[in-house]
Structure 1
Amino acid sequence: MKLMFASDIHGSLPATELLLARFADSDARWLVLLGDFLNHGPRNPLPEGYAPGEVAKRLNTVADRIIAVRGNCDSEVDQMLLEFPVTAPWQQVLLARQRLFLTHGHLYSPDNLPPLAAGDVLIYGHTHIPVAARYGEQFHFNPGSVSMPKGGYPASYGFLNDDTLSVITLETSQVIAQIAISP
């Protein structure tokens, strides 16, 4: 299975357009959005090209290929603009041998784990910092942020290709972190 992951768009139109171009060029079946779609939030500055209405329009062009979870900056008003479900606090994707637990990261996180079985993968955003690591019997993956990266990292997204999760830079498509998630 091939999936693309993105988090923390925060209403940035240039980041959204580049993300959707990367998605169109990939052979990913689904675009998994890990929250904070349209709003920048009270603690963040406005991202480059802040245009939440236009971001909603662009995302809606692939609404039938999006799996999404709600972030801490998302509200029910956002659902009025977005044509795909965005209010679930978490979702699960079942692979042949393991589960991907999808969340934004403000409710469930590495510091507050949901119940996970051996081999399961916690996939989250929120921190704007990429992670691809194994912790005990589980895996943790954060694709970073496409619009407002932190920690000195570039804007990035994630990609699952069979059993390998990669963090890839949005601008240059360079792999900056990777982990095999074979249970």
Structure 2
Amino acid sequence: MKIFVISDIHGSSYFLKKVLEAYKRENANYILILGDELYHGPRNPLPVEYNPKEVAEILNTYKEKIIAVRGNCDSEVDQMLLQYPIMGDYTTLFLDDKRIFATHGHIYGEDNLPDMSQGDIFIYGHTHLPVAYEKNGIYILNPGSISLPKGGNKNSYGLFENGFFYIKDLDGEILKEINLK
């Protein structure tokens, strides 16, 4: 199974369309969205082609493939436009023999991990920085941001595939990878 991971769309229809091209190219089974779908937030600049209503319409066409969590910029009003649930602060998934704890990162983060076991995966967004490393037997992952990357990083997404997690730019170039075995 392939799980395509995105975070921090922040209402950019331009970058959402670009990343959905990558989703199709990757032939992934599901899309995991780590929050901040529609609103850009008061600390962020307006992203390219800021159009939250169009973003909601596009995402709704993938509703049966989306697993999502709430970001710090997501609200009940956003949920009214989206046809899949986004209001949970986290979700737990299982991939092969791994438990994945998926969250946005504004409540739980690298310095405030939930209770986890060796071999578990903690994946989050929020910082707009791509991250892939193992610490004390727990994998810490962040796909970066598709619309507003920080720290000089490229617009990026993540992909769980065949026991690896890849962080790729929108053209599919691998920026980081980690073996999850």
- Establish whether TM, by shorter chain, passes 0.5: yes
Q: State the match for 2:85 in structure 1.
A: 85
Counterpart-to-counterpart distance in 2, 1:95 and 1:24: 20
Could you report, residue by residue, the CA deviation over 1:104-136 in whole angstroms, capped at 9, with x for unpaired residues? 000111110001100000000000000010111
SS in 1 for 2:111: coil
SS in 2 for 1:20: helix
Give the letter for the 2:146 counterpart.
Answer: V
SS in 2 for 1:15: helix
Write out aligned runs for 1:1-183 (5 A).
1-170=1-170, 172-182=171-181
Identity in percent = 47
Q: Structure 1 residue 75: deviation in Å?
A: 0.1
SS in 1 for 2:24: helix
Give the letter for the 1:67 counterpart.
Answer: I
TM-score w.r.t. structure 2 length? 0.98
Q: Structure 1 residue 95: deviation in Å?
A: 2.3
SS in 1 for 2:165: strand
Q: Structure 1 residue 96: deviation in Å?
A: 2.9
Q: Structure 1 residue 137: deviation in Å?
A: 0.8
Q: Structure 1 residue 51: deviation in Å?
A: 0.2
Give the letter for the 2:120 counterpart.
Answer: D
Counterpart-to-counterpart distance in 2, 1:46 and 1:29: 31
Could you report, residue by residue, the CA deviation over 1:18-66 in whole angstroms, capped at 9, with x for unpaired residues? 1111112222110000000000001111111100000000111100000
Give ranges in structure 2 of 5+ residues lacking alignment. none
Counterpart-to-counterpart distance in 2, 1:71 and 1:122: 16
Counterpart-to-counterpart distance in 1, 2:50 and 2:96: 39
Give ranges in structure 1 of 5+ residues lacking alignment. none
Counterpart-to-counterpart distance in 1, 2:180 and 2:101: 13
Give the letter for the 2:109 counterpart.
Answer: S
Q: What is the count of residue pairs matched by the alignment?
A: 181
Counterpart-to-counterpart distance in 2, 1:98 and 1:154: 28
Counterpart-to-counterpart distance in 2, 1:162 and 1:33: 20
Poorly superposed stretches of 4+, deviation over 6 Å = none
Give the letter for the 1:108 counterpart.
Answer: Y
SS in 2 for 1:100: strand
